[in-house]
Amino acid sequence: MKFSDRQTEIIEIVKEKGPITGDDIAEILGLSRATIRSDLSVLTMINILGARPKFGYFYTGKSIFSQLSQDLKSLRLKDYMSLPFSCDQKTSVYDVVVDLFMEDLSSMFITEDGYLAGIVSRKDLIRFMIGDADIKKTPVSVIMTRMPNVFYVNIEDSVYKAANLIVTKGIDSLPVVKVKNEKDLEVVGRFTKTNVTRLFVDVCDQEIV
């Protein structure tokens, strides 16, 4: 979206002198109020300028994309997550690795009695490779990252919250959970950087919002 020269001038005037009335803007430009009416209505509609009666026009500091940001921020995890993969904590590291290979996954959620007990991340596996434990005899519970040190998100959370957690905590794969019995976490989904990357491509292709 490109602004006309006059719209750009109006934005600059309001940035500098706002709050300012439409009449005063017109006067500075040497134009009639009627001439700039549609420019002002465009600029307020896309939220670059705000307008309040008896106050005038002011610069919001927002861009045309503030609405898109809001829309992106409101996307819900449950609509963009993947199916979870998990196994019991008594499984051997070897069997987990075979599963990861077959399913092309980077992490495996580990459960105890069906509830989230831990996660085996890429980093846990790499750490295991540096050591010399027997891969077929070591249960995954020995190498997993254990609750409460596992980052997870709730099924009601936003994609934005999950993506932010992934970036700030350096996570590959987040369990998406429902809370049962006040504290037990039932794993109902998986949200990864792959999901975010797919979403980014879809936004570029205008398939979202």
Which residue ranges make up the site for a copy of itself (CB under 8 A)? 1, 37-39, 41-42, 45-47, 62-69, 72-73, 94, 97-98, 100-101, 104, 106, 122-123, 125-127, 129-130, 135, 160, 163-164, 166-167, 170, 172, 192-194, 196-201, 203-206, 209
Could you tell me the smallest distance in angstroms from the CB atom of residue 104 to a copy of itself? 6
Quick one: which of 1, 54, 28 has its CA closest to 10?
A: 28
Residue closer to a copy of itself (CB basis): 107 or 185: 107
Please say which residue, 71 or 178, places its beta carbon nearer to a copy of itself.
Answer: 71
Q: Which residue's CB is nearer to a copy of itself, number 5 or number 104?
A: 104
In the chain, the amino acid numbered 62 is K
Q: Which of 62, 64, 72, 85 is nearest to 161 (CA)?
A: 72
Cβ-based nearer residue to a copy of itself, 111 or 173: 173
| Spatial separation of the C-alpha atoms in residues 159 and 70, rounded to whole Å | 12
Q: Which residue has the tokens 């409460």?
A: 148
Q: Which residues, 6+ apart, have CB-to-CB distance to 40 below 8 Å?
A: 10, 22, 25, 49, 51, 57
CB neighbour burial string for 191-201, b if at least 16 within 10 angstroms, e if fewer = bbeebbeebee
Shortest distance, position 117 Cβ to a copy of itself, whole Å: 22
Nearest approach, Cβ of residue 182 and a copy of itself (Å): 31
Q: How far is the CB of 62 from a copy of itself (least distance, A)?
A: 8
Map residue 155 onto helix, strand or coil.
coil
Task: For the CB of residue 67, give the shortest distance to a copy of itself in the complex, in Å.
Answer: 4
Give whichever of 97 and 155 is closer to a copy of itself, judged by the CB atom: 97
Helical (H) or strand (E) element with 95? helix 93-103
